[in-house]
Amino acid sequence: MFDATLPSQQRKIRPDGLLLFGLLALMVLGAAFIYSARAAHEASALIAWHKQLHFRQIIWYGIGTLAAIIVCLKDYRTLARWSLVFYWATTLLLVAVIIPGIGAMRYGARRWIDLGFFQLQPSELAKLAVILALAQFLSRPQEELREPRTLLKAFGLIALPFLLVLKEPDLGSALMLAAPGLAMFYVGGVPPRFLKRLIGGGAIFALLLVASVLFAPPKWQVLKLEDYQKRRLLVYFGMNYAPANATPAERSRALADQRRDSYNVEQAMISVGSGGLTGKGWRQGTQNALGYLPRGVAHNDFIFSVMAEESGFVGSLIVLALYATVLFVGIRIASQTRDRLGKLLAVGVVTLLFSHVFVNIGMNIRLVPVTGVPLPLLSYGGSSVICSLVAAGLLQNVHLHQKSI
Amino acid sequence: MMPFPQIGRQDPPLRFIALALLAGLVVLLAGLWYVQVVSGKRHLEAQQNQSLRTLRVPAVRGQITDRHLQSLAVDRPVYQVNAYLDELRPYFQQEYRRRRPPGKLTRAEVSALEKQARFNTVSNFVRQLRLPVPMTLTEPQLHWHYTNKLALPLSVVRGLTPAQVAVFMERGGAVPGLDVSVASARTYPQAIAAHLIGYLKRDDSSFEDEDSFYHYRLPDFVGRIGIESLFDQNLRGRAGTRTMLVNSLGYRQSEHMSTPAEAGHNVVLTLDLGIQRAAEQALASVRPDVEGAVVVMDPTNGDVLALASAPTFNPGDFVPRLEAEAWDRLRDPQLRPLILRATQERYPPGSIFKIVTGLAALEAGRLNPAEMVPNPGYFQLGSRSIKDTAAPGNYNFRRAFIHSSNTYFIHHGLQTGPDRLIEMGERFFLGQSTGLLPGQEVAGQFPSPTKLREGWAPGDTANLSIGQGPITVTPLQMAVMTSAIVNGGKVWWPRLVDRIESPENDAINPVQQFPAARLRGSLNASQKNLDIIRDAMLADVEDPEGTGRRAAVLGLRIGGKTGTAEIQRGGRTVDKITWFVSFAPYEQPKYVVVVMVESGGSGGLTCAPVAQKIYRAIQQLERSRSAPAVTQVGG
């Protein structure tokens, strides 16, 4: 107050070291195990080193880190002012991706925009956009949050990208938008009454959905899910594909389908489980090398299976500890920051990362149905890596630019 | 380090979020603990189940050799070209793409095309080897192998000669996915002593204290009869296990020998290959499809030197499998080639039993060898007249023996009495098996003392005296009998296996020696009486009037006794079993040769010449074997 330069010099805040350590360690593990997941295949030896996925992942790490540093340069309050612009730009991309011709069709879904050198996944951007926009929106005085109109607007902020992502279809990513949203509502001070209704409504909806998929005859299913989504649910709940009145031929076809669909999950379980306490050693995992774990997913959605098989429970513990470090540093940052915007941002980022970790690892051990949710920083993929690092950058930003007491 | 002591103290919602995250992480941790540690073993088993394949690899079977270590049965290496499908897989795909017509194909068309592509690839590569042997693989075989045994190499060209292997080695490097491998096949290089050696039958199953579960098994065999069967355990060794890692498509990824096979042990027989061959050839020379047997024994210790049976078969025909035609021949109800006639069939001894009758009478003290017994040309027993092939006249022991006079021996048999005759027969263990080849031996028949009390008539004694009636023997029993006469009364347990030894011959696998000269019993006969019989046997061969004179060999003093047993049915002679039992040399008997021919003319005409051929061969063998020994001493 007396001297403008003195306090800032004394209170010079450095980036949170523990957070940096956690992120760096995760990136090292990610590169190492993507290498392991790919190197087992004969074909990978023929690919030039700079085209190999572990190397490309390192490039993504580099780009992501750069983006995170850039994010940290400006005070998050400044960034938040641009949040709506970012939000609507992303929404535009989400609309674009579901238009045939712009969005590239893969595995029966339009989730990517092919930029030639890069497959952009707008749903990843949407996760950041929602957190930023929602934090900005909810950081208004708490009293305003009691007004239904404001609440409805806040709800709409999540609902719009949620529905668009659902349309791709990508239920997993859509749900990844909902989890941080709810947490931010809660921390932001939205009245519990409203939250209860929201959660209750969501739960009833989900229950009805699952029940209708599992038990209702086809004609009664008002709520339409994509075929593969239905199957994943059936696999998860261990239900028979064949309807009760199926002919033997239908039954055997259904059984064959079921085997194929439950294959990934079974093989992931076997991979994780066969790792045992200490694992088989880096690059010694056979599930991936012998192709039991499908090659298409071993390095991205199922990278955790590769890690768990090769490093065992000890390795799983280390991975979880690293994520816990990142997450709880995030919580600490949220608790230390003095303004609501910073806290909301931190909570949003933390819950976003957490829900990814939970769903991805959970699906490897059959806690959660299979969804295409990547494991932050470990799964191969540019969009995911960059968004995760930018999200972590936002955390650092909140930490660096927290308001002085 | 406690970095988060104060989290959300003043901020309940944040605190709740933190706790929720913690709970979520704990749930994950618990889940991982359950999957990786609690049920880790089950998952590891599941993983190994789906990716490990075990292959049973039979051991090299031990050799069977004669006493001079000449191979009678041996595993010979067989070279074949194997295709390794895992290495050929990219070429299958290439070929498939080349053949695939544009447009959409049904699933059936695709799989048919894939089948063709695979077969074409393999046969093209085999053609590139330019081996002079044709490919033995057919398309259905390849397809069967592909669907059932993908992880195993597939034999595409069988039966390569070493020269062809060399050709392959020159060219093989250029052709991917093909390699030469060595398998072993049982061979019987001498094709001799088939009944004794036995044969093999395909049987891949696991044996005791082996792993019982294998995904795949290489062909294995088990011995059926003879030594192959009796010593199967020793010969077969221990099968090994090869473990293969297969990928999700079932292709072999890598393999290693988890348990190497332990080679089987060698069985060394007492058999002498030279004598065995001579015996088989001599027997076969009687007539085509002769049915008979020869036993050559060392009377000093009971070692079996040759054991021949005709008709015989080739044990090699059974490996890898017996052709239907060969099987029909083996099942011929008349010839019954699988029967070992030296031990497995009962024959009436006929006149050769007069040796026992004579010895019993001599031992009883009722027979004076010089005393003459008149022979009117038949023997009148009550109302029954038994004809005598010996001319009418007066006979002493020697003359009666060499003319095989029935009258003389019936006379003395009745004098001696049936209990003494039977008691003497029992000293030779007649009616009891020798234990040489369990399962391939019969005991023969011999009246027991109890039989005497149940309606025994003098006619029975008369029959027994000349080896007819309720008595049957095996040629092997007769060899044991003859040995006992010439070795001073020692009845041996005959011996066929000398020792079992491991190919390594180390401390862990010591040689298992079967003792020679195992005494079974003694005749307790006086040497004088034994010598009387020995001299009479010598006379039978050396006297120009002797029935066994056709066995005589220059330079070897042979003693023998002929026999011709008539098989009568309804009072008519339907068949004759002809015999010749003999020993040599007279001075120091080293060989006992027993020849038996079914449906022969007479012992002297049919069997004595066979024995003569065998003795000549023995003479030759002894000369050739002693000759190098002399040079050795000289050098």
Domain boundaries, chain B: 53-70+194-269, 72-189, 273-313+339-499+517-627
Residue B205: count of CB within 10 angstroms of its CB: 11
Contacts of B25 in chain A (CB under 8 A): 320, 323-324, 327, 358
On average, the pLDDT of chain B sits at 87
Residue B631, pLDDT above cutoff 60: no
Contacts of B247 in chain A (CB under 8 A): 289-292
Q: Diameter of chain A by CA atoms?
A: 87
pLDDT at A44: 63
pLDDT at B583: 95
What is the band of B173 on the pLDDT scale with cuts at 50, 70, 90?
low
Query: One-letter amino acid identity for B423?
Result: E
What is the mean pLDDT of the segment spanning B146-174?
Answer: 80
What is the mean pLDDT of the segment spanning B417-425?
Answer: 91
Q: What is the DSSP letter of A43?
A: G
Query: How large is the ipTM?
Result: 0.89
Contact between chains at A291 and B247 (C-beta distance less than 8 A): yes
Tell me how far apart the alpha carbons of residues A212 and A222 are, in angstroms, rounded to a whole number. Answer: 8
B52 touches chain A (CB under 8 A): no
Q: Looking at A69-73, A238-242, B73-77, B521-525, which range is the least confident one?
A: A238-242
Judge whether B168 and B181 are in contact, CB under 8 Å. no
The two structure tokens encoding residue A101: 């011709």
Spacing of C-alpha A20 from chain mean position: 20
Encode pLDDT of B319-336 as tens digits: 777 788 888 888 888 888
Using DSSP bridges, classify how beta strands B240-246 and B393-395 pair: parallel, antiparallel or unpaired: unpaired
Chain B interface test: which of A365, A373, A378, A398 (most B C-beta within 10 Å): A365
CB nearest B36 (choices: A18, A276, A290): A276
Q: Phi and psi at residue B457, in whole multiples of 5°?
A: -110, 160
H helix runs in B285-405, sequence order:
324-330, 354-364, 397-403
Contact between chains at B28 and A362 (C-beta distance less than 8 A): yes
Q: Three-state DSSP class for B204?
A: coil
Q: What is the full DSSP assignment across B546-609?
A: -TTGGG-BTTB--EEEEEEEEEEETTEEEEEEEEEEEEE-SSS--EEEEEEEET-S-IIIIIHH
Tell me how far apart the alpha carbons of residues A383 and B474 are, in angstroms, rounded to a whole number. Answer: 93
Judge whether B559 and B581 are in contact, CB under 8 Å. no
Contact between chains at A183 and B4 (C-beta distance less than 8 A): no
pLDDT at B3: 46
For the domain covering B53-70+194-269, report its CATH number: 3.90.1310.10
Q: What is the full DSSP assignment across B494-530?
A: PB-EEEEE-SS--SSS--EEPPS-EEEEE----HHHH
Topology alike, domains B53-70+194-269 and B273-313+339-499+517-627: no
What is the mean pLDDT of the segment spanning A64-81?
Answer: 91
B4 touches chain A (CB under 8 A): yes
Tell me how far apart the alpha carbons of residues A266 and B598 are, in angstroms, rounded to a whole number. Answer: 73
CB nearest B32 (choices: A292, A316, A328): A316
Cα atoms in the 13 Å half-sphere on the side-chain side of A402:
24
Judge whether A64 and A388 are in contact, CB under 8 Å. yes
What is the band of A10 on the pLDDT scale with cuts at 50, 70, 90?
very low
Query: How many Å lie between the alpha carbon of A291 and the closest alpha carbon of chain B?
Result: 5
The two structure tokens encoding residue A281: 């050693």
What is the mean pLDDT of the segment spanning B263-278?
Answer: 93
Chain A interface test: which of B16, B42, B47 (most A C-beta within 10 Å): B47
Residue B380: count of CB within 10 angstroms of its CB: 11
Closest of B21, B35, B8 to residue A355, by C-alpha: B21
A116: left (phi over 0), alpha (psi -120 to 50) or beta: left
Closest of A127, A149, A146 to residue A188, by C-alpha: A146
- Is domain B273-313+339-499+517-627 given the CATH code 3.40.710.10 in the classification? yes
Q: Three-state DSSP class for B438?
A: coil
Tell me how far apart the alpha carbons of residues A291 and B86 are, in angstroms, rounded to a whole number. Answer: 14
What is the band of A8 on the pLDDT scale with cuts at 50, 70, 90?
very low
Cross-strand partners of B115: none
Judge whether B467 and B350 are in contact, CB under 8 Å. yes
Residue B381, pLDDT above cutoff 80: yes
Residue A2, pLDDT above cutoff 70: no
Judge whether B186 and B59 are in contact, CB under 8 Å. no
What is the band of B52 on the pLDDT scale with cuts at 50, 70, 90?
confident
